[in-house]
Amino acid sequence: MSVSASTDAMKSTVTPSSDRRVGDETFITMLVACVAVGLFVVASLAVPNFFQPLTMLNLVTNNWAVISLGVGVTFLLVSGNFDLSVGGIVALSGVLAVWFAQATGGVNALSTGFGFPTWLAIVCALCGALAIGALNALFVVRFKVPSIIVTLGTMLVARGIAQVITQGSQRNTNLPADFGVLGNLTMFGTSVKLPVIGMAILLAVAVFIERKTVFGRLTYWIGANPVAARLSGIDNAWHVTKLYLFSAGVAGMVGILLASEFKSGFSNRGTLMEFDALVIALLGGVAIAGGFGSVIGMFFGALILGVVTTAATGLVLSPDWQFTLKAIAVFLAVTTQTWALARRHR
Amino acid sequence: MTAQPTPVLQVEGLTKDFPGVRAVDDVSFSIERSTIHCLVGENGAGKSTLVKMLTGALRPTSGTMTVSGAPYEPHNPNDARRGGIATLFQELHVVDQLTVQENLTLGMERSRFGFLVSSDLDDRVVGTLAAIEPSIDPSARVSSLSVAQKQIVEIARAASSGASVIIMDEPTAALSEREVERLFAVIRRLRETDVTVIYISHKLDEIFELGDAVTVLRDGRHIATRPLSQVAGPPELIEMMIGRAVLQNYTPRTTVSEETVLTADGLTNDLLKDVSFHIKRGEVVGFYGLVGAGKTEIARALFAADKVAGSIEFNGRPVGRSPKDAIRSGIALVPEERRTQGLFTSLSVRRNISVMNTRKLSSSGVFRSADEKAAAIEYVRKLSIATDSIEKYAEKLSGGNQQKVVLAKCLFADADLLLLDEPTRGVDVGAKTEIYDIIRRLADSGTSVAVFSSELEEVLGICDRIFLLVSGSLAEEVKNGPDADAAHILNVVTGGERRAAP
Amino acid sequence: MSNAHTSATTTFGDRAARFARNYYIYFVLVAVVALLSLANLDRFDLFERGNFLNPNNIINILRVSAPLLTLAGAFTLLMVSGYIDLSVGSAMSLSAVVYALLAINGTPFLAAFLITMVVGAGLGSINGFLVVRLKITPVIATLITLSLFKGVALLLVEDGVSAIKSGGGLKMPSWFNDYGREGVLLSLPAAFWVAVLVTAVLVIAQNRTLLGKYAAATGGNPTAAKLSGINTGKVVFLLYVIVGVTAALAGIARSSFMSLGDPLSGDGMELTAILVVLLGGTAFSGGEGRVLRSFIGALIIMALTVGMLTLVPAYYQTLVLGTALLAAAASNHLVSRKEAGS
- CATH code at A59? 1.10.3470
pLDDT-based confidence at A156, cuts 50/70/90? Answer: very high
Q: Which of B97, B151, B153, B176 to mutate to test the interface with C (most CBs of C within 10 A)?
A: B97
Domain that holds residue A172: 26-36+53-344
pLDDT-based confidence at C42, cuts 50/70/90? Answer: low
Q: Which of C72, C16, C63 is nearest to C280 (CA)?
A: C72
Residues of A in contact with C152 (CB under 8 A): 324
Residues of C in contact with A110 (CB under 8 A): none
C342 reaches B (C-beta below 8 A): no
For B151, the closest chain C residue by CA position comes to C4
Using DSSP's 3-state secondary structure scheme, residue B22 falls into: strand
pLDDT-based confidence at A345, cuts 50/70/90? Answer: low
Q: What is the pLDDT of residue C41?
A: 54
Q: What is the pLDDT of residue C322?
A: 92
Checking if the pLDDT of B71 tops 60, the result is yes
pLDDT-based confidence at B500, cuts 50/70/90? Answer: very low
Q: What is the pLDDT of residue A26?
A: 82
* Contact (Cβ atoms closer than 8 angstroms) between residue A64 and residue A261: no
Identify the top-confidence range among A2-6, B281-285, C21-25: B281-285
Task: Give the C-alpha separation, A125 to A94, whole Å.
Answer: 7
Q: What is the pLDDT of residue C2?
A: 38
Alpha helices (runs of H) in B276-368, residue ranges in sequence order: 295-302, 323-328, 349-353
Q: What is the pLDDT of residues B295-327, one digit of tens each?
A: 999 999 999 999 899 999 999 888 888 999 999
The CA-to-CA distance between both ends of chain B, in Å, stands at: 50
**Backbone region of residue B417 per phi and psi (left: phi > 0; alpha: psi in -120 to 50; beta: other values):** beta
**Weakest mean pLDDT among A330-344, B222-236, C154-168, C327-341:** C327-341
With a CB cutoff of 8 Å and minimum separation 6, the contacts of B288 are: B295, B453, B454, B456, B459, B466, B467, B468, B469, B489, B493
Q: How much of chain B is helix, strand and coil, in % rounded to 5?
A: 35, 25, 40
Q: What is the pLDDT of residue A16?
A: 52
Q: Which chains touch A (3 or more CB pairs under 8 A)?
A: B, C
Checking if the pLDDT of B165 tops 50, the result is yes
* Contact (Cβ atoms closer than 8 angstroms) between residue B453 and residue B39: no
For each of the domains in chain B, give its residue range(s) and CATH number, in order of start.
9-242 (3.40.50.300), 260-493 (3.40.50.300)
How far, rounded to the nearest angstrom, does the alpha carbon of residue B378 sit from its chain's CA centroid? 33
Mean pLDDT over residues A97-117, rounded?
Answer: 88
Mean pLDDT over residues C18-25, rounded?
Answer: 77
The CA-to-CA distance between both ends of chain A, in Å, stands at: 12
Q: What is the pLDDT of residue A269?
A: 92
Task: Give the C-alpha separation, A137 to C158, whole Å.
Answer: 43
Q: What is the pLDDT of residue C50?
A: 55
pLDDT-based confidence at B172, cuts 50/70/90? Answer: confident
What is the least distance, in Å, from the CA of C277 to any CA of chain A? 12
Q: What is the pLDDT of residue A10?
A: 39
Helix count and strand count (H, E) for chain B: 16, 24
Q: What is the pLDDT of residue C11?
A: 64
Inside any domain, residue A42 = no
Residues of B in contact with C79 (CB under 8 A): none
Task: Choose among B324, B384, B398: nearest Cβ to A2.
Answer: B398
* Contact (Cβ atoms closer than 8 angstroms) between residue B252 and residue B462: no
* Alpha-carbon distance values, A162 to A90, A166, A173, C305, C311 (Å): 10, 6, 16, 18, 19
Inside any domain, residue A14 = no
Inside any domain, residue A264 = yes
Checking if the pLDDT of C126 tops 90, the result is yes
Task: Give the C-alpha separation, C210 to B113, whole Å.
Answer: 9
Q: What is the pLDDT of residue A9?
A: 39
Checking if the pLDDT of A8 tops 60, the result is no
pLDDT-based confidence at B2, cuts 50/70/90? Answer: very low
Q: Do the bridges between strand B448-453 and strand B284-288 make them parallel or antiparallel, or are there none, so unpaired?
A: parallel
Kindly list the domain boundaries of chain C, sorted by start residue: 69-165+175-266
Q: What is the pLDDT of residue A5?
A: 39
Q: What is the pLDDT of residue A121?
A: 94
Q: What is the pLDDT of residues B98-114, one digit of tens each?
A: 999 999 988 888 888 88
Q: What is the pLDDT of residue C8?
A: 42
Checking if the pLDDT of C289 tops 80, the result is yes
Q: What is the pLDDT of residues B321-366, one digit of tens each?
A: 899 999 999 999 999 888 889 999 888 899 999 999 888 888 888 9
**Weakest mean pLDDT among B183-192, B356-365, C17-26:** C17-26
Task: Choose among C139, C151, C334: nearest Cβ to A320.
Answer: C151
Task: Give the C-alpha separation, B183 to B169, whole Å.
Answer: 13
**Weakest mean pLDDT among A88-92, B335-339, C181-185:** C181-185
* Contact (Cβ atoms closer than 8 angstroms) between residue C287 and residue C80: yes
Q: What domain count does chain A have?
A: 1
Inside any domain, residue A11 = no
Cβ contact, residue pair C220, B98, below 8 Å: yes
Q: What is the pLDDT of residue B4?
A: 60
pLDDT-based confidence at A6, cuts 50/70/90? Answer: very low
Q: Which of C74, C149, C271, C215 is nearest to A148 (CA)?
A: C271
Q: What is the pLDDT of residues A18-68, one digit of tens each?
A: 455 567 778 888 888 888 888 888 888 887 777 787 877 888 888 999 999
Cβ contact, residue pair B366, A214, below 8 Å: yes
Residues of C in contact with A318 (CB under 8 A): 155, 159
Inside any domain, residue A285 = yes
Inside any domain, residue A13 = no
Q: Do the bridges between strand B70-71 and strand B62-67 make them parallel or antiparallel, or are there none, so unpaired?
A: antiparallel
Residues of A in contact with C143 (CB under 8 A): 275, 278, 330
Q: What is the pLDDT of residue A4?
A: 38
Q: What is the pLDDT of residue A71?
A: 97
Cβ contact, residue pair A2, B399, below 8 Å: yes
